[in-house]
Chain A
Amino acid sequence: MSAIKQVPEPTAGKPGGPDRSDAGLATSGHAAPQAGEPGHVAPEHTDAHALNLPWLMSRARIWIRRGLILALRVSRLVVTGVRQIRPGLRFLRHSLLRRWRRSLEFRTVLMTLVLAITSFAVVGAYLSNQIANNLFQERLAQAESESSYNVKQVQDTFNGAQVTDQSSVITLVYDTLNAVEGRGDVIQRRYVFEAMPEQTKPRNRWVESRASDQLTVRVIPPELRKAVQESGTDQYWASTEFPVGNEDRPGIAVGNKVDFNGTVYELYLIYDLNTAQQTLDEIQNVLWTGGVALVLMIGAIAWYVTRNVVSPVSHAAVVSEKLAAGQLQERMVVKGEDEVARLGASFNHMAASLQEQITQLATLSQMQQRFVSDVSHELRTPLTTVRMAAEVLYDARGDFDPMNKRSAELLYNQVERFQSLLSDLLEISRFDAGAAVLDAEPQDIFQVVGHVIEGASPVAAEYGSEVRLNTRQKSIIVEMDSRRIDRILRNLLLNALEHGDGKPVNVSVAANHDAVAISVRDHGIGMSQAEAARVFDRFWRADPARARTTGGSGLGLSIAAEDTKLHGGWLQAWGRKGSGSNFRLTLPLKQGGTILKSPLQLEPADIELPGAAPERQMLVLGAEPAAPSTAEPSSTAPNSGGPS
């Protein structure tokens, strides 16, 4: 039996053939006989496109219809939406992006779906390709063996035929060929029977050509014909299309030569690939349905799994947010022994120790408050007795001899000092215990300033200092605890008078949009850098040897600093040896407000500049940014009538 050969087919030579590059569903003819065999055309390419053409067409029709519907919907959406639901679309896009950013679950499910769809497309294409190829190869093998057999039958019949007259020859040929089509209703194969061109025509050649219903020699690819014509007795094949009824069907044409009564004929047997195509379609349908179902299931599985993993994590996030907000009793639910349970357990452990620590701290703070309160009461009662007794003695000192008289005076003064020290200590420990509460309400700062200046007037008279108030405003309403502000300012003013050397003390008040500033400037002995840095320290004294004349406890400025901190303000000190000092209190106009810039300068504009490099001192308290007032080199403060 001669080998079957595939005809090489130039791509361009096939009219109406689908694009060859569409390899996805094409079958290949590589199972054809080995290339390079002598005398054979090497089967470089396969022509299996015909197999896929109808499938592609019907697919395309479906997709086109779907695409049209989708396009219609989208265009309708766009037309109505551009005007009406553009914000809605933006919101949708925004919310999707937001979910993408914020939801691990959403992101994972979406990623899984995208990856699953991609892998199914690749695997599906490969499977579909393989199946189509196998189907084609199977049919081709069948076609080849059947063709060899049938051609042999025909040749045998022709060889043994008695050539008598024209009609019997025609009948013989036609019967023989019809027998090739097979018995029964179903046509197993079709044929095209054609005399080879360009050969000497014998006298009794009565049959030129013959073909099955609807077929002509034109359905045979020219390349196949050429191969058959030029070869010896080999069998060749090629893919083709042939008309059945109103449609074109894919098929395989197998070409041979037979000779009859001295004439060489080409005999092509054509095998229908329609059933294979239908099988392929069904398989592909199954692949599609299965693929879609699987993708959906994978999506659902991904959602379920992520949910299982992520929900404890988001639960942990919720719980830790609550913890951070102060709900210390919040705990995670722990189930099982997996990683999530371990996370939950260690989270709960952390929360418990946090709660314990905080409760402990709170208890300590409460205990300290209790202690302060108790000490306060326990000490004050005997102190009251001592103080009253001292005063009674002091009042009666005129009746005493000089030694007892002086003792009574000392007792009286020291009891006073002890009492002020005690109350300052209790005040400081109240701050330390966190028991100090701001009792703020809107009030005019000038009321407090006026009250302080008025209260300090006896002391000012004693030192011979004049207290001047510099301001351009008449009223500045500040949200403050006036009792504390009164205490701060009284402290600053008494300090200034004490260290003011009897020179005038300037009190300046100014405000800007968010803050009010009060500065107290004295022109006394001043202080050095090191001193200015320590001025708010507890029990610190500028000059330990200096006699205490106003009976301060050494805690006054520390308490002032604490009071300022409670208000969210700044308390700063500036000083220079010999040029006096300046204390500036800056308060936000509203509680909780931020201070960007103090309305007054810390370094007064009135200082004399000696030849030596000036010693600048300042101490920053509170939340003021670094290098606060040195950033104001000139008099940019609103109060141009500041210290002068």
Chain B
Amino acid sequence: MKARILVVDDDEALAEMIGIVLRNDGFEPVFCADGGQALEIFRSSKPDLVLLDLMLPGSDGIEVCRQIRGESDVPIVMLTAKSDTSDVVRGLESGADDYVPKPFKPAELVARVRARLRPGDQKAPETLRIADVTIDVAGHLVTRGGERISLTPLEFDLLVALARKPWQVFTRELLLEQVWGYRHAADTRLVNVHVQRLRSKIERDPEAPEVVLTVRGVGYKAGS
């Protein structure tokens, strides 16, 4: 079955070009040129992934991102022309999993899309524990004290990567490679922002984390 991808971009030429590239690589693109209708089209088309331009008429890309994230865990990859730190960070904080800066190569775009669409690769039944959090890997389920915690696939992958090797300290570069699928060093802000998001969901007190610990000057590790 072809993966359906919602392309939210006001630039029709670019949207069409992205469509050509995606179709060429075996995806099924759905288009939306107006941020105001993005949520509606998202609901009706039920895509497997959203490609979202940060600057949209009608509604800010960041706002659209927040709306979609409000009702779905579907992966969101932002297209951004602004490489300014604050914009990228704002986009990531509003719920995007990854971003591709313009101008990008078709291969780059497809690689990012594929990385996010990576199927659960039929994970073996496995139960992991960090602090008082239990992770059912196969069931994609995270609980704390019997209470279910909802995580996006990316956050889940991040938590599982840390939980599998609780003795190891992961550098941001290593996490980028294992969780995001980057082969070359990329923007480590991705890691920082998503660790913050993950903490806000699973930590009792995100200010004093117990599940995902920061190792100063190195990276992150799982709590015991």
Residues of A within 8 A of B (CB): 373, 376-377, 380-385, 387-389, 391-392, 419, 439, 451
Give the chain B neighbours of A387 by CB distance below 8 A. Answer: 103-105
Given A383-B102, A383-B103, answer yes or no on A389-B81 (Cβ-Cβ < 8 Å): no
B82 touches A451 (CB 8 A): no
Distance of A391 Cα from B104 Cα, bound (Å): 11
B185 A384 Cβ-Cβ under 8 A: no
List the A side residues contacting B18 at CB < 8 Å. Answer: 388
Q: A392-B24, A419-B103 are in contact. Are A385 and B81 (CB under 8 A)?
A: no
CB distance from B151 to the nearest CB of A (A): 30
Q: In the bound complex, how far is the Cα of B14 from the Cα of A388, in angstroms? A: 9
Assembly CA distance A619 to B14 (angstroms): 45
CB nearest neighbor in A for B9? A381
| Distance between Cα atoms of A380 and B21 in the complex (Å) | 18
Cα distance, A381 to B14, chains bound together (Å)? 7
Closest 9 CB pairs of A and B: A377-B81, A384-B103, A380-B102, A380-B81, A384-B102, A383-B103, A385-B14, A385-B17, A388-B17
Of A377, A382, A384, A392, the residue contacting B104 (CB under 8 A) is A384
Cβ distance A453 to chain B, nearest Cβ, rounded Å: 14
Can you list 16 A-B contacts (CB < 8 A)? A373-B82, A377-B81, A381-B81, A382-B13, A382-B14, A384-B14, A385-B11, A387-B103, A387-B105, A388-B17, A388-B21, A388-B106, A389-B17, A391-B106, A392-B106, A439-B85
Q: How far is the CB of B134 from chain A (nearest CB, A)?
A: 36
Q: Once the chains are docked, how many angstroms separate the CA of A439 from the CA of B189?
A: 13
Residues of A within 8 A of B55 (CB): 377
CB distance from A33 to the nearest CB of B (A): 108
A392 and B21 CA atoms in complex are apart in Å by 8
Query: Would you give the shortest CB distance from A137 to chain B, in whole angstroms?
Result: 98
Q: A383-B102, A388-B18, A392-B24 are known; give 11 further A-B pairs, CB within 8 A.
A: A385-B11, A385-B13, A385-B14, A388-B20, A388-B106, A389-B17, A392-B20, A392-B21, A392-B106, A419-B103, A439-B85
Q: With a CB–CB cut-off of 8 A, which chain A residues contact B106?
A: 388, 391-392
Query: Which of chain B's residues has its CB closest to A441's CB?
Result: B217
Q: B205 near A: Cβ within 8 Å?
A: no
Chain A residues within 8 Å of B85, by CB: 439
Smallest Cβ distance from B82 to chain A, in angstroms? 6
Q: Name the distance in Å between B184's Cβ and chain A's nearest Cβ.
A: 9
Q: How far is the CB of B64 from chain A (nearest CB, A)?
A: 17
The answer to whether B121 has its CB under 8 Å from any CB of chain A is no
**Residue pair B82, A376 in contact (C-beta under 8 Å):** yes
CA distance A137 to B17 in the complex (A): 125
Interface residue? B147 (CB, 8 A): no
Residues of B within 8 A of A382 (CB): 11, 13-14
Q: How far is the CB of B15 from chain A (nearest CB, A)?
A: 9
The residue in chain B whose Cβ has the minimal distance to the Cβ of A442 is B217
Let me know if B126 is at the binding interface, CB within 8 A. no
Known: A385-B14, A385-B17. A373 touches B84 (CB 8 A): yes
Cα distance A163–B62 in the bound complex, in angstroms:
147
Of A373, A377, A388, A451, which one neighbours B105 at CB under 8 angstroms?
Answer: A388
Which residue of A has the minimal Cβ distance to B15? Answer: A385
Distance, CA A385 to CA B104, complexed state (A): 9
Which B residues, 1 to 42, have Cβ-Cβ distances below 8 Å to chain A?
Answer: 11, 13-14, 17-18, 20-21, 24
Determine whether the beta carbon of A376 is less than 8 Å from that of B81.
yes
CA distance A392 to B109 in the complex (A): 13
Residues of B within 8 A of A389 (CB): 17
Q: Chain A residues near B14: list those with CB within 8 A.
A: 381-382, 384-385, 388
- Least CB distance from A481 to B in Å reads 12
Interface positions of B from 70 to 89, Cβ below 8 Å from A: 81-85
Question: How far is it, in angstroms, between the C-alpha of A213 and the C-alpha of B46 when the chains are bound?
Answer: 142
Contacts of A439 in B (CB 8 A): 85
Residues of A near B185 (CB, < 8 A) are: 451
Cα-based distance from A290 to B109 in the complex (angstroms):
98
> In the docked arrangement, what's the CA distance between A377 and B61, Å?
14
C-alpha spacing A122/B147, complex, angstroms = 101
Q: Is the CB of B82 within 8 A of A381?
A: no
Q: For the complex formed, measure the closest distance between the CB of B21 and the CB atoms of chain A, giving whole angstroms.
A: 6
Specify which chain A residues have a CB less than 8 angstroms from the CB of B83 in the assembled complex: 376
Using known A-B contacts A377-B55, A381-B14, A385-B11, determine if residue A391 contacts B81 with beta carbons closer than 8 Å.
Answer: no
CB distance from B182 to the nearest CB of A (A): 14
- Provide the bound-state CA to CA distance between A382 and B11, in Å: 8
Considering the chains assembled together, what is the distance between the CA atoms of A623 and B103 in angstroms? 37
CB-CB under 8 A from B17, the residues of chain A are: 384-385, 388-389
Beta-carbon contacts under 8 Å, B96-121 to A: 102-107, 109
A620 to B11, CA, bound (A): 46
Residue of A nearest to B21 (CB): A388
Closest to A435 in B: B84
- Point out the residues of chain A lying under 8 angstroms from B20, CB to CB: 388, 392
CB atoms of B21 and A377 under 8 A apart: no
- A381–B21 touching, CB < 8 Å: no
Q: Which residues of the other chain, A, contact B11 by a CB distance below 8 angstroms?
A: 381-382, 385
Expressed in whole angstroms, the Cα–Cα distance for A384 and B18 within the complex equals 10
CA distance A388 to B17 in the complex (A): 7
Of all chain B residues, the one with the shortest Cβ separation from A418 is B103
Give chain B nearest CB distance to A435 CB in angstroms: 9
The residue on B at minimum CB distance from A426 is B83
**In angstroms, how far is the closest chain A Cβ from the Cβ of B109?**
8
Q: Which residues of B contact A383 (CB under 8 A)?
A: 102-103
A381 and B24 contacting across the interface, CB-CB below 8 Å: no
Q: Looking at the assembled complex, report how far the CB atom of B81 sits from the nearest CB atom of chain A, in whole angstroms.
A: 4
- Do A391 and B105 have beta carbons less than 8 Å apart? yes
Bound together, the chains give a CA A377 to CA B87 distance in angstroms of 12
In the assembled complex, the Cα of A60 lies from the Cα of B17 at a distance in Å of: 113
Instruction: Fill in one digit per residue for B132-157: 1 if any A CB lies within 8 Å of its CB, else 0.
Output: 00000000000000000000000000
**In the complex the two chains form, what is the Cα distance from A376 to B14 in whole Å?**
16
Closest to A483 in B: B187
